[in-house]
Each structure stands twice: as structure tokens, then as C-alpha cells.
Structure 1
């Protein structure tokens, strides 16, 4: 029997198929048996490319992180770079919300995740943030972005006007689901603006203030 011109499996194909399964049915539904079936191979074939299921999940998570644009660091000032990064980060996570709980565990040994953390932290330190505070800033943005990508506020309200009859302040809540993108995007933008405004105020009060005082001595 002649050998196929292309290998049946590759790391990229395994990762793409695993991500599609997670997108469709969630993290808990992914198993090596189901993944192998979706790929049309036997389970042991996966282990020619990955040692464990966790290695597959790491690769899947990192494939999502790799789509985040960190090019703003080094091109914009720290605050605008954070805005650019946060919007790209949210878009990447919102496209694959079922993988967010795994990503939220931290970068671990994942190359793209470590590169992203290095870009964010490095830019903040170069801008003058003390190292410990730079860690806090990066973590705060990551909490906010990950939380916003986990679900839709608007879709949490069903389109049943009668349901809200006994809640006088929710008379228009049945309309929220029909305006999901506008509501969720507006909430994210408002929160991001408020967070960055607060960080800018702290930067001006502490980092820039210290630099101004030092310059007069």
C-alpha cells in the first residue's frame, strides 16, 4: 500500500482540531479518544506529537495567545499600548471563550504566553513603573480582559418581558440580548477607559511626580 503524500497528522492539525472541539463543546468534552476520532486516527497516534493531553491543551491555549497583537509596545506610549493590547487580547479570547478558564491559569511554559507577558511587563518597566507595580498593572489588565471574555452580560437576560414585570428597574432588560454586541462592547470600552484613566492618574502622581522632583534637585 503506497504511503500517503502528506502525513495524516501534524501538531498544527491536532491543535486546530482540538480548538474546534473545545469551541463547540467546552473544555470538559475534550478527550484524546474524541480528538483522535475527529482526526480519523487511533489515539496512540497523538502521542507521536504530544506526550500528554495537558501538552495538547497548552498548545491549543498558546495558539490563541499567539494571535494577540503586542506590536503596540514600543510603538505607542505605555497607556495607549495597553489599550491596543487589551482590545486585541479580548478579541482573541472572545473568539474562543471556552479556552479562557485554561488560559486564566497563567502562562506556565507556553512560549507565546511568556512572550506576551514579557512584552507587557518590559514596556511598563521601561516607562518607569516600578517592577512590582508593573506586575500589578499587567495582572489587573489580564483579569479585566479575561473576565470580559468569559461571557456576555447582555445574553444573560432572556427575551421575556413578562419575566421582569416584578422588577421595576428592569423594564427594558428583555431587549439586552438583542443588542449583545453593542452592550458588551460598550461595557468593555467603558471599563477599559476607566481602568486606564486610573492608572494614568497613578502614574502621573507617582512615577512622573518622582521624576519631576528628581529633576529639580
Structure 2
């Protein structure tokens, strides 16, 4: 029998199949045996591309990170740093909420994942260009990751059952409408995220003004520049 023109397996095929399994069944649903069966190959074939299941999950996580828009951090984009963080956070959350089961892997940090490292590099570089000291630019990157990944780990609205009798006014006088939250999950969760994001950025804005007024040492001054003016 002639050999196929294309190999049966590739890293992309493995990652695509693993991502589908994670989406459908969570991290526990992924095993090399199950993945090989889904791909119609023998288990050892996977090891030509990945040494372990953890490596496969890392690649799935990186594929999600690659979906995050980073264009707002380009030096010539023109968005003010708060608007850039806002727009990036929305794109970041959208990618994570599309693949919620992989969030625990992403929450570990970028490690050696190329797309994850590009995200970290873009955020840090943009904050330093905007005038944040490097240490605080690092804190901002960490803070945003905590906030976005935390929001994607679960749904506040889905945490309430749709049974009105579960919230007896005698016990919970302020939860008379809580049984309705699950029916409005998307609006509630997105509204909560936007409210928190605005509050976070407003707080950073106050800190930024304090940083701008503070005298800088020579080393710090060499690593920061004045932010570009707002367009318009």
C-alpha cells in the first residue's frame, strides 16, 4: 500500500482534537489513550509530537492565548493605556470563556508557551511605554491576569438555582430575585466584568497620576517615556 501523502498526525491535529475533548469533557476527559482513539491512531504515535499529556494541555492553552487580540498594544496603535487594557481584557476574557475548561492551565502563567509569552511581553512593553515604572508594569500584568482568569473560572449568575423556594425571605430577605439570575447569566456576568474592569482601571488611573508626579531616579527615568497623547 502506498504511503499517504500527508502524515496521519501533526501537532496541530493533536491540539485541535485535544481542545475539542477539553471543551466537551474538561481536563479529566483528556488522556493519551482517548486522544489516540479520537484521532484513529495508536497511542505511541502521539509521542512523536508530545512527550506527555501535560505538554498537550500546555499546547491547547497556548492555542487559546493565540486568539487574544494584542493589536491595541502596538506602538503605533494610538490607544491610551487604559483603553488598551480595557480592550485587551475584553478580548482575553472572550477567548477564555469560549474555552473555560482550559482556564486552570492558563492560570498557572505562561511558562514557556510562545503565545502566552507574547501576551505578557505586549502588556509589559505597552505599560512601560506609557510611563509606568517597570516594577509596576509587572504588577499590572499580574493584576489583569488575576482579574480576567478569575472571571472566567465560573459564573456568578449560574451559582444560584432557579427555584424561588430556595431563598426563603425569612432567611435571605434580600435574595427574593436570586432565582432569576441564571436566566440572565450572560448579562449579569458581562455586566459584573465590565463594572469591575472599569473600577480597576479607574484605580490604576489614580495611581498613574501619582507616579507621574513622583520624581524618578536616573535608572527609572531611562526605562520610561512619556505616553502618547490621546487621539482626537
- Measured against the shorter chain, the TM-score band is over 0.9
Q: Structure 2: how far apart are the matches of 1:142 and 1:106?
A: 9
State the match for 1:50 in structure 2.
50
Counterpart of 1:128 (choices 91, 107, 131) is 131
**Cα deviation, residue 210, structure 1:** 3.1
* CA deviation map 1:82-122 (0-9, x unaligned): 11111000000001111001111111100001111000001
State the match for 2:205 in structure 1.
200
Aligned positions, number: 212
TM-score w.r.t. structure 1 length? 0.94
State the match for 1:27 in structure 2.
27
Q: Structure 1: how far apart are the matches of 2:39 and 2:203?
A: 48
Gaps of 5+ in 1: none
State the match for 1:141 in structure 2.
144
User: What CA RMSD, in Å, does the superposition of the two structures yield over aligned residues?
Assistant: 1.5
State the match for 1:163 in structure 2.
166
SS in 2 for 1:177: helix
**Cα deviation, residue 2, structure 1:** 2.4
Greater length-normalized contact order (CA 8 Å, ≥ 6 residues apart): 2
Q: Structure 1: how far apart are the matches of 2:38 and 2:146?
A: 33
**Cα deviation, residue 211, structure 1:** 6.9
Q: Structure 1: how far apart are the matches of 2:41 and 2:178?
A: 48
More helix by share: 1
Q: Structure 2: how far apart are the matches of 1:162 and 1:55?
A: 47
